[in-house]
Amino acid sequence: EAGVAQSPRYKIIEKRQSVAFWCNPISGHATLYWYQQILGQGPKLLIQFQNNGVVDDSQLPKDRFSAERLKGVDSTLKIQPAKLEDSAVYLCASRPNLGGLQETQYFGPGTRLLVL
Amino acid sequence: DAKTTQPNSMESNEEEPVHLPCNHSTISGTDYIHWYRQLPSQGPEYVIHGLTSNVNNRMASLAIAEDRKSSTLILHRATLRDAAVYYCILRDGNYGQNFVFGPGTRLSVLP
């Protein structure tokens, strides 16, 4: 079974530029998450999708961050414009929706963003 | 969200057992205890989870205190590949809350 795919793996931009990250979850996984992980900290949830609908985006800085999952499969996270403090690893995770609330999340390798 | 407390770092020798502690004194009756680990330059991966009883799988064992206010992840024979950050997370089984990751414990394995 293929894992969660993310691209690009690394990105360097200057502040005020825009950047987009792509995620392809494990086939058949209905739930998709985007996390931000700042160096030395644990991942912090930005947004959760169930199929193509947003379930939780309470911690997404909506003035500059946006995310979509139009067909309920792959997803894009965008930052526009980027700030220095957005330097972090952006992780995508997916989870099957088999009914058990303790289901495992499967993470991708992440995209490491550096804002100069 | 119920909170967990873990040591910032721990060290172990290769091929010896490792006991990683986690305190969760405010745990509720429906909170599941999850452990994930994050190897260098990778996303977190699932290790084990449990509710009340001790749990074993091919990766590790989870020992849960009788009052459920603490738990211990046990790696029976540490290898160099086990060097990672280990996260202990509580998740309410009734309400399906999302994971809240703390800083975790950084485990170093010495050859």
Tens of pLDDT, residue by residue over A26-45, are: 998 999 999 999 999 999 99
**Nearest in space to B16 (alpha carbons), one of B94, B79, B70:** B79
The pLDDT confidence band at residue B91, using thresholds 50, 70 and 90, is confident
- In Å, how far are A19, A72, B100, B108 from B103, measured between CA atoms? 27, 31, 10, 15
Contact A48 B98 (CB under 8 A): yes
Size of interface A-B (CB pairs under 8 A): 51
Confidence of residue B95 (pLDDT cuts 50, 70, 90): low
Interchain proximity B104–A43, CB inside 8 Å: no
As a whole number, mean pLDDT of residues A86-108 equals 85
Facing A108 at nearest CB: one of B43, B94, B100: B43
Q: Which of the four pLDDT bands, split at 50, 70 and 90, describes residue A97?
A: confident
* Residues linked to residue B45 through DSSP beta bridges, in sequence order: B37
Of A32-36, A54-58, B18-22, the poorest mean pLDDT is in A54-58
